[in-house]
């Protein structure tokens, strides 16, 4: 009986020392809590908050979460022993408000981006039903104009675009779109080849398949080759990257021991 108690105690201790939990998190700001990106920089697991600011993500002790949003200051959170044991994390983000010092852009501008952007007049969206012709009625993806030419030209200055370049808004938007594209393509490729294929052909642990796919995407031309249906190159990438990834997992397990 005592031996079973010792075994159980050992396994329980290992869970907290080296195990992995699914952390339940909340962004407790009052507004704009949906769509905030949460990335585990240690394992590459990532997720996005729902309309209530809630998220769940797999973590181990001492992992670092990177929280990113175009509305708030980026924030890093280290998974401490206390957070790991509670399995709950509440995060408050600082609002991203940029002020342009010593820049005069017009008599009605204050330098506060959030306030000044509300003063910029925009035209109503086209209603194709009113004019009797077919057309796209969804919300178009926001375009990112170049600084020279589209934002600042010989005869014009796009104030709104200039603000967004200076504030880093467009930079964050590019990063978010990159992550979203990687997540979507990772899911498409996994569904195309099936989880069983990677487990049996490359010995990738099933709970690491998504991480493996992101690893391939970030370190190769996998996205481009898959979209072009260049499947020979895709398989060659899997052959090469699976060896590197499995070696990395072995090193990780060795360090834990």
- Would you state the pLDDT for residue 6? 46
**What is the predicted pLDDT for the residue at 27?**
94
- CATH number given to 2-91: 2.60.40.1120
Beta strands in the chain (DSSP E): 21-27, 37-40, 46-48, 54-59, 64-68, 75-78, 88-91
Structure token digits, residue 44: 């590459």
pLDDT bracket for residue 113 (50, 70, 90):
low
**Across-strand partners of 57?**
23
Q: What is the pLDDT of residue 242?
A: 92
Does the pLDDT of residue 222 top 70, yes or no? yes
Position with higher pLDDT, 99 vs 163: 163
- For residue 57, count other CB atoms closer than 10 A to its CB: 20
Which of 63, 30, 27, 31 has its CA nearest to residue 48?
A: 27
pLDDT digits (tens, 9 = 90+) for 233-251: 999 999 999 998 888 887 7
Bridge partners for 56 per DSSP:
24
Tens-place pLDDT, residues 166-191: 888 878 877 778 778 888 888 889 88
The pLDDT of residue 17 is 46
CB atoms inside a 10 Å sphere around CB 223: 19
Residue 140, pLDDT above cutoff 50: yes
Greater confidence, 254 or 25? Answer: 25
Q: What is the DSSP string of 186-220?
A: HHHHHHHH-HHHHHHHH---GGGHHHHHHHHHHHS
**Secondary structure (3-state) at 138:** coil
d(CA 49, CA 23): 13
Please report, for residues 61, 243, 257, the alpha-carbon distance to residue 10 in angstroms, rounded to integers and kept in the order given.
Answer: 17, 32, 14
**Residues 125-146, mean pLDDT to the nearest whole number:** 61
- What is the residue-averaged pLDDT of the chain? 78
Mean pLDDT of 59-71: 86
Residue linked to tokens 């642990």: 205
The per-residue pLDDT for 220 is 92
pLDDT higher than threshold 50 for residue 214: yes
User: Of 40-44, 76-80, 123-127, where does the model show the most confidence?
Assistant: 76-80
Residue 110 has pLDDT above 70, yes or no: no
What mean pLDDT is predicted for residues 25-37? 90
Residues 151 and 157: beta-carbon distance below 8 Å? yes
Provide CB contacts within 8 A for 173, sequence distance 6+: 70, 142, 144
Distance of CA 40 to the CA centre of its chain: 9
Q: Which of 23-27, 63-67, 103-107, 153-157 has the highest mean pLDDT?
A: 23-27
Higher pLDDT, 94 or 249: 94
Domain ranges of the chain: 2-91, 113-167, 173-256
From the list 55, 59, 49, 113, the residue with the least C-alpha distance to 84 is: 59
Above 60 in pLDDT, residue 23? Answer: yes
Q: Is the model more confident about 227 or about 150?
A: 227
- The 8-class DSSP code of residue 233 comes to H
Rounded to an integer, the average pLDDT of 88-98 is 84
């Amino acid at each position: 009986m005592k031996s079973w108690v010792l075994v159980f105690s050992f396994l329980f201790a290992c869970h907290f020392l080296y195990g992995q939990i699914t952390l339940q998190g909340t962004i407790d700001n009052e507004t704009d809590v949906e769509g905030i990106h949460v990335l585990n920089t240690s394992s590459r697991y990532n997720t996005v908050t729902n309309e209530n600011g809630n998220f769940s993500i797999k973590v181990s002790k001492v992992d670092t979460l990177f929280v990113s949003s175009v509305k708030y200051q980026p924030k890093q959170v280290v998974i401490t022993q206390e957070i790991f044991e509670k399995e709950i994390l509440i995060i408050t983000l600082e609002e991203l408000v940029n002020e342009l010092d010593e820049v005069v852009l017009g008599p009605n501008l204050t330098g506060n981006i959030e306030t000044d952007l509300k003063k910029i007049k925009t035209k109503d969206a086209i209603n194709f039903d009113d004019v009797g012709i077919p057309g796209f009625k969804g919300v178009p993806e926001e375009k990112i104009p170049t600084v020279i030419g589209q934002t600042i030209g010989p005869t014009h200055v796009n104030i709104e675009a200039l603000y967004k370049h200076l504030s880093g808004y467009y930079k964050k938007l590019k990063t978010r779109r990159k992550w979203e594209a990687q997540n979507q393509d990772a899911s498409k490729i996994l569904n195309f080849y099936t989880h069983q294929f990677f487990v049996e052909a490359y010995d990738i642990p099933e709970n690491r398949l998504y991480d493996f796919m992101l690893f391939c995407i970030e370190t190769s031309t996998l996205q481009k080759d898959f979209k072009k249906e260049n499947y020979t190159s895709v398989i060659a990438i899997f052959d090469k990257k699976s060896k590197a990834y499995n070696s990395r997992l072995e090193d990780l397990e060795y360090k834990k021991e």
